[in-house]
């Protein structure tokens, strides 16, 4: 599936991409960041990119780098999303010590799914695992009585708190915990959810340095997630790791969620203003009615 996210969210725009980088606008701030899937050639010149951009993240090693600032940029700034039905979401963004800035704009596809599908399910409990800065949690909280947000990094959980406050939401339970351990505890407690979203990384660590290795642990996690999904429920999953494309993902999903209808988009491609493309990974939407 190819999509121009600017058509869904006018404050975000993939302006250009290529040669392993992407030029993006987030509200009033334009950034250059590395992008491994930007394999084509950019439309604009390097000089044009730098003239448009406020800053560029330059990798100095595989897992680190630094921001080169071209124009004045605030410590934090916001961008807003307005859904077709009038739901408003306010996201706080900032330059971090990595290339990430607090938002994955392609998640707007999932927000539209939540808004569209929530009318068919119960509206009591929503769960976000590996929740990052919580924009999906905040958005979903408009359609559920309670939303639970799980991430192992306290800093991004506090970031979620600010996103919730800025968006006027106060029905979110914020928990700093390892996602796998939380799900195991919810099974023991007998708690179940009407809607669940999870975004498992390739490699990670929990709140107490628990190890997360996607290839080794994903089947057990998904099996347990199925146990905390209500009889009538939906589950959303994103897979950004480039190693997962060779896995038998579809077979694994059918094994772990035998009673859900599964819709899987094996690669969502974002299209730039000039027609260049980058990968947004694998999107999975599962429904049990």
Share of residues in the chain with pLDDT > 90 (%): 81
**Average of per-residue pLDDT across 138-147:** 97
The structural domains of the chain, ordered by start, are 103-288 (3.40.50.150)
Residue 278 has pLDDT above 70, yes or no: yes
Beta bridge partners, 37, equal: none
pLDDT tens digit string along 151-161?
Answer: 999 999 999 99
CA 274, chain centre distance (Å): 24
Q: How many CA atoms lie within 13 A of 119 on its CB side?
A: 5
pLDDT in tens, 70-121: 999 999 999 999 998 899 999 999 999 989 999 999 999 999 999 999 888 8
- pTM for this one? 0.94
The SS3 assignment for 268 reads: coil
What lies within 8 Å, CB to CB, of 222 at 6+ separation is 252, 253, 256, 257
Pairwise CA distance, residues 232 & 136, whole Å: 20
Tokens 């009889």 belong to which residue?
A: 231
Distance CA(89)–CA(27), nearest Å, equals 13
Mean pLDDT of 25-43: 97
Of 158-162, 220-224, 244-248, minimum mean pLDDT range: 244-248
Q: pLDDT band at 224, cuts 50/70/90?
A: very high
Average model confidence (pLDDT) for the chain?
93
Average pLDDT score over residue span 226-244 = 86
């Amino acid at each position: 599936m190819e999509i121009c996210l600017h058509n869904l969210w006018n404050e975000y725009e993939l302006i250009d991409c290529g040669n392993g980088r992407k030029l993006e606008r987030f509200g009033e701030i334009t950034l250059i960041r590395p992008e491994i899937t930007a394999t084509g050639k950019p439309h604009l010149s390097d000089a044009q990119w730098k003239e448009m951009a406020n800053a560029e993240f330059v990798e100095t090693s595989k897992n680190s780098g630094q921001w080169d600032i071209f124009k004045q940029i605030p410590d934090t700034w916001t961008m807003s999303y307005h859904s077709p039905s009038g739901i408003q979401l306010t996201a706080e963004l900032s330059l971090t010590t990595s290339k990430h800035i607090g938002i994955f704009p392609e998640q707007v596809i999932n927000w539209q799914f939540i808004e569209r599908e929530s009318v068919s399910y119960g509206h009591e409990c929503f769960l976000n695992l590996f929740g990052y800065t919580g924009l999906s949690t905040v958005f979903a909280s408009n359609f559920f009585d309670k939303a639970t947000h799980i991430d192992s990094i306290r800093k991004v959980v506090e970031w979620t708190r600010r996103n919730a406050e800025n968006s006027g939401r106060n029905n979110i339970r914020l928990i700093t915990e390892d996602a796998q351990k939380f799900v195991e505890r919810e099974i023991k407690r007998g708690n179940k959810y009407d809607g669940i979203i999870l975004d498992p990384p390739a490699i990670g660590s929990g709140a107490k340095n628990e190890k997360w290795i996607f290839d080794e642990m994903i089947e057990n996690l998904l099996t347990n997630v199925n146990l905390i999904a209500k009889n009538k429920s939906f589950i959303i999953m994103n897979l950004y790791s480039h190693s997962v494309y060779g896995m038998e993902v579809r077979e694994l999903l059918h094994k772990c969620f035998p009673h859900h209808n599964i819709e899987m988009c094996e690669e969502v491609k974002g299209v730039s203003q000039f027609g260049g493309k980058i990968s947004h990974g694998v999107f999975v939407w599962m429904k049990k009615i």
